[in-house]
Amino acid sequence: MEKKSKFGTAMNIGIPKESIDTQKIFERRVALTPAGVKALVERGHEVYVESSAGEYSGFSDAEYEKMGAKIVFSREEVYKRAQMVVKVARPTEEDYNYLCEGHLLFGFLHLAVAPRKFIEILLERKITAIGYEIIELPDGRLPILQAMSEIAGQMAIVVAARYLQNEDGGRGIILGGIPGVPPATVVILGAGVVGQNAIRAALGLGAHVVVLDKDIDKLREVEKLFDKRVETAIANVYNIEKAVQFADVLIGAVLIHGALTPKIVTEEMVKKMKPGSVIIDVSIDQGGCVETSRPTTIANPVFVKYGVIHYCVPNMASNVARTATYALTNVSLPYIIEIAEKGLSQTVRERPSFGKGIYTHAGFCTNKNIAEIFNLEYKKIEELL
């Protein structure tokens, strides 16, 4: 018999502990804060939290229990009890065994760079996979990704400042310079949310900032926001090559909704960069916009190629796990509640733009970009509901 909450259907919701495998991905965030769990429990839902899930974000099992969560001591049990599984990162290979037919799965899934095996499991087991990174508002904004992008943009400058120091192999310069010594040049590719937050942080430290984007309206917005304290240029091959050559710090902040990021900085361009300069490829979670980039981890965040330090951590917001978990809960909880109580069909009917956030449903790929990348049959989500 279908359970009822105070506001509609009641659902069992599972929150597994994220992977802490330092050789692959070290994910410190947790999907919901204790306060987020309380909001669900008060509405009649049952929430199962794997023991120690909130440890790295500073939330104890006792805090979750106090808010009404049921603590379970194995990941398998979380998946078995849950109708909806709420994660941060894409499930690991161990998790594949626990995904059950009909599960609703929320998380930063980034299927464009996912193993094909994972996508095949989603389809075979008829899992409804909802990607935080592609959930849209009617105006095209990405509300959940935006929160993490705001963090990543600020962190990019903090990371750059560290790796410019001699001890970490950098050029031995500070971002802001001092009287008589010029500041570092920070080149930012992309004037979206990551780019704008990186600009704000870099200017705050006194850096010389150059921003490139192919959208002239975005560049106008940047000039207006920052009172013309930023150099702007159209992101064509000539301008990118010229800017990269003079950069002390290069930040890749390019985003194509739900698709692989184009490689706009070539290997030849990287070869011409200053020795000890730093690349922060924030776009790495969708493949990266620098040809020499490859994913790194929080435990081993950098590598050097052609004398240039590369920082390519896909989940860099995980390094400020508490802030990131609060931010994630703020923006994801309304969607979790809506799906839990109204169901997928009603939610998509009432909020058509939400349908763009669904990767797979009922055994079909419902995202055109992913269908093209992996040569899968594509169906519109509306046809399946």
Residue 149 annotated as binding site: yes
All residues at 6 or more sequence positions from 220 whose CB lies less than 8 Å from its CB, including other chains: none
All residues at 6 or more sequence positions from 201 whose CB lies less than 8 Å from its CB, including other chains: 153, 154, 156, 157, 158
Contact 378, 371 (CB under 8 A): yes
Concerning whether 285 is annotated as a catalytic residue, the answer is yes
How far, in Å, CA of 3 to CA of 345, rounded?
18
Concerning whether 21 is annotated as a catalytic residue, the answer is no
Nearest residue to 337 via CA among 354, 362, 322, 321: 354
Residue 213 annotated as binding site: yes
Residue 179 annotated as binding site: no
Residue 314 annotated as binding site: yes
Catalytic choice (103, 110, 208, 361)? 110
Residue 284 annotated as binding site: yes
Residue 255 annotated as binding site: yes
How far, in Å, CA of 254 to CA of 188, rounded?
9
Tokens 């999907």 sit at which residue?
31
All residues at 6 or more sequence positions from 120 whose CB lies less than 8 Å from its CB, including other chains: none
Residue 285 annotated as binding site: yes
Residue 218 annotated as binding site: yes
All residues at 6 or more sequence positions from 88 whose CB lies less than 8 Å from its CB, including other chains: 18, 27, 29, 30, 31, 107, 108, 315, 318, 328
Residue 334 annotated as binding site: no
Tokens 């919901």 sit at which residue?
32
Residue 320 annotated as binding site: no
How far, in Å, CA of 71 to CA of 18, rounded?
15
Catalytic choice (45, 248, 285, 361)? 285
Contact 83, 103 (CB under 8 A): yes
Contact 51, 72 (CB under 8 A): yes
Residue 300 annotated as binding site: no
Neighbour-count burial for 17-33, b at 16+ CB within 10 Å, e otherwise: bbbeeeeebbbbbbbbb
Sheet holding 70-72, edge to edge: 70-72, 46-50, 12-15, 84-89, 104-108, 128-131, 358-361, 364-365
Instruction: Please report, in range form, the residues annotated as the binding site for Mg(2+).
Output: 338
Instruction: Please report, in range form, the residues annotated as the binding site for NAD(+).
Output: 149, 213, 218, 254-255, 282-285, 294, 313-316
* Active site amino acids: 110, 285
Instruction: Please report, in range form, the residues annotated as the binding site.
Output: 149, 213, 218, 254-255, 282-285, 294, 313-316, 338
